[in-house]
Amino acid sequence: MRGAGRTDAGVHALGQVVAFDISWRHSLQDLQRALNALLPSDMVVWALGEAPPDFHPRREAQARIYRYLIYNGRWRDPFGRALAWHVPPPLDVEAMRRAAALWVGRHDFGAFGRPPRGQNTVREVRRTAIVADGEWVAFEIEADAFLYHMVRIMVAVLVAIGRGEQSPEVAAAYLRRPDAYPAHAPAPPYGLYFVGARYDRIPVPLPPQFLPGSLRLFKDR
């Protein structure tokens, strides 16, 4: 079994892509029903398809998408404590947007994470977006690949900026100081979601919007 990526303990996966070999004489729909009948309640197979025998979800991913959810209400939400990081107001979302935009492009992100053994810390961020909806704030980022803890450290820096503890320009300053790892203690893992991956060789749909209400912030990827 080969997966598109690994996540830290406590991190959610909305659109994990898994490839496996199986001898199955029935339909894909029957296989999907069989798998979902056996999986634990916090996992679901929402799409199945055939792939070439040599397809590798991690090595062939052209881009990966992560989302981080922040609950910006005055008081913590006991029902959403495992879904988002509670950051009480105020939070300057516009300053956070300006900072996140500085990360777009090909940069050395060494201040934000550690690479797998034998790799460097240069990554290409294709886009960032921050959306606020009521008391919810979501940060979404797409890149060719990510370093360990990269998104969680980015979010921690953004929150420090949103609180007025640092200026938006510090986001770019860390790109000039890849040896400054860690730029910040990482944000909690439970607000982070692996949304999915993009591929050139085979069509892999991004996941449906399982999250309820105002958490459905990105609909036009």
Whole-number Cα distances in Å, 1 to 24, 57, 144, 213? 16, 10, 22, 34
CA 166/CA 160 separation, integer angstroms: 6
* Residue 61: per-residue pLDDT: 92
Q: Count other Cβ atoms within 10 Å, centred on residue 78.
A: 8
Which tokens go with 126?
């294709």
190 is in an annotated binding site: no
What tokens appear for 152 in the block? 């969680």
Q: Which residue has the tokens 């949103």?
A: 162
Give catalytic status of residue 133 as yes or no. Answer: no
pLDDT at position 148, please? 95
**Cα 69-74-77 angle, rounded to 5 deg:** 55
Which pLDDT belongs to residue 182? 94
pLDDT tens digit string along 178-208? 999 999 999 999 999 999 999 998 888 777 6
CATH topology of domain 1-206: Alpha-Beta Plaits (3.30.70)
Mean pLDDT value across residues 33-60: 93
- Check residue 212 and give its pLDDT: 43
Mean pLDDT of 158-163: 98
d(C-alpha 210, C-alpha 106), whole Å: 32
Kindly tell me if the per-residue pLDDT of 175 is higher than 50. Answer: yes
pLDDT at 59: 92
Domain boundaries, the chain: 1-206
The answer, yes or no, to whether residue 216 has pLDDT greater than 90, is no
Confidence of residue 168 (pLDDT cuts 50, 70, 90): very high
pLDDT at 166: 97
Burial 29-49 (b: 16+ CB within 10 A, else e): eeeeeeeeeeeeeeeeeeeee
Structure tokens at 19: 């490839």
Place of tokens 């609180």: 163
pLDDT at position 209 is 59
Residue 205, both tokens = 């749909």
**Catalytic residue, candidates 8, 30, 77, 133:** 8
